[in-house]
């Protein structure tokens, strides 16, 4: 079974540019989560999709971040315009809908904003 995949693995952009991160969850997983780890700090929740609906987006830092999950399959996270403080590792995780909500993580996308 293929795990959660994320693309790209690394992205280096300049301040003010736009970047789009992609996450492909495990097939059949209705739940999709985005997290971020800024250097020196804990991994923080950004948002949670159930299928194509946003269940919880309370962790989104500001309106420069836009997440979508059209069709309830893969998800994208767009940062526009990027700022220096957006640098970090962005993780995606997915889980099945059921009693045991084990979240399986992707390898992460390392974003560097110069």
Binding site for another protein (CB under 8 A): 3-4, 31, 33, 35, 41-45, 48, 50, 55-56, 59, 91, 95, 97, 99, 101-108
Contact 6, 106 (CB under 8 A): yes
Strand partners, 23: 6, 75
Which residue, 3 or 8, is less far from another protein as judged by CB? 3
Nearer to another protein, 45 or 81 (CB): 45
Q: Considering the complex, what minimum distance in angstroms separates the CB of residue 78 from another protein?
A: 20
Question: Least distance in Å: CB of 81 to another protein?
Answer: 26
% helix / strand / coil in the chain, to the nearest 5?
Answer: 5, 50, 45
Contact 34, 51 (CB under 8 A): no
> Nearer to another protein by C-beta: 70 or 102?
102
Scanning the structure block, which residue is given the tokens 């999950």? 69
């Amino acid at each position: 079974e293929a795990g959660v995949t994320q693309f790209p693995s690394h992205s280096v952009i300049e301040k003010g540019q736009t970047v789009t991160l992609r996450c492909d969850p495990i097939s059949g997983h209705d739940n999709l989560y985005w997290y971020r780890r800024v250097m020196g700090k804990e991994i923080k929740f950004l948002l949670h999709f159930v299928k194509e609906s946003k269940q919880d987006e309370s962790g989104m830092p500001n309106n420069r971040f836009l997440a979508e999950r059209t069709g309830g399959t893969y998800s994208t996270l767009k940062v526009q315009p990027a700022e220096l403080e957006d640098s970090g590792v962005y993780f995606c995780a997915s889980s099945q809908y059921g009693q045991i909500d084990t979240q399986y993580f992707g390898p992460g996308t390392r974003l560097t904003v110069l």
